[in-house]
Amino acid sequence: MKTKNVVLGLAVIAMGFTSCKNETEMKAEKTVDSYEKYVDSVGKVAEVDAKANWAAVEAGYEARTAEAEAALENFKDKTKAQERLHASKAKYAELKAKYEAQVAAEQKAKAETTTAATGNGLRDTFFGGKLGEDMNFNWVNKDNILSVYQNFVDTFNKNKDSYSREDFDKIKTWYEALDAHKNKVEKEGLTSKDNLQIAKLKLEFAPKFKWERMTAKADENAKAKE
Report which secondary-structure segment, H or E, holds 45: none
In-domain check, residue 174? yes
Of 75, 108, 141, which residue is a domain's last?
A: 108
121 found inside a domain: no
Final residue belonging to a domain, choices 60, 77, 108: 108
Query: Is residue 202 a contact partner of residue 148, using CB atoms and an 8 Å limit?
Result: no
- The answer as to whether 176 is a domain residue is yes
Would you state the pLDDT for residue 53? 86
In a domain, 122, yes or no: no
Contact at 8 Å (CB) between 203 and 149?
no
108, 142, 175 — which closes off a domain? Answer: 108
The answer to whether residues 144 and 85 belong to one domain is no
User: Mean pLDDT for each consecutive 10-residue tract of the chain (226 residues)?
Assistant: 42 44 84 90 85 86 91 88 91 88 75 53 91 91 96 94 91 94 92 95 94 81 58
Query: What does the longest C-alpha to C-alpha distance in the chain come to?
Result: 129
Q: Are residues 168 and 104 in the same domain?
A: no
Claim to verify: residue 89 and residue 22 sit in the same structural domain: yes
Tell whether 98 and 150 lie within a shared domain.
Answer: no
Q: Same structural domain for residues 139 and 101?
A: no
Same domain, 61 and 136: no
- Integer Cα distance of 65 and 59 in angstroms: 10
Residue 47's domain comprises 2-108
Residue 222: the pLDDT is: 60
Does residue 161 form part of some domain? yes
Task: Give the span between the Cα atoms of 223 and 165, in whole angstroms.
Answer: 12
Query: Measured in whole angstroms, how far is the alpha carbon of residue 21 from the centre of its chain?
Result: 48
Q: Output the pLDDT for position 49.
A: 84
Global pTM exceeds 0.95: no
Give the list of residues 6+ apart from residue 21 with CB closer than 8 angstroms, or none: none
Q: Say if CB 202 and CB 146 are below 8 A apart.
A: no
Residues 210 and 176: their CA atoms lie apart, in Å, by 13
Alpha helices in the chain (DSSP H): 2-44, 47-52, 54-71, 78-127, 145-159, 165-186, 192-225
Question: Helix axis angle, 145-159 relative to 165-186, nearest 10°?
Answer: 160
**145 and 67, same structural domain?**
no
Burial class (CB in 10 A: 0-12, 13-18, 19+), 224: exposed
Query: In this structure, are 93 and 6 located in the same domain?
Result: yes
Do 73 and 143 reside in the same domain of the chain?
no
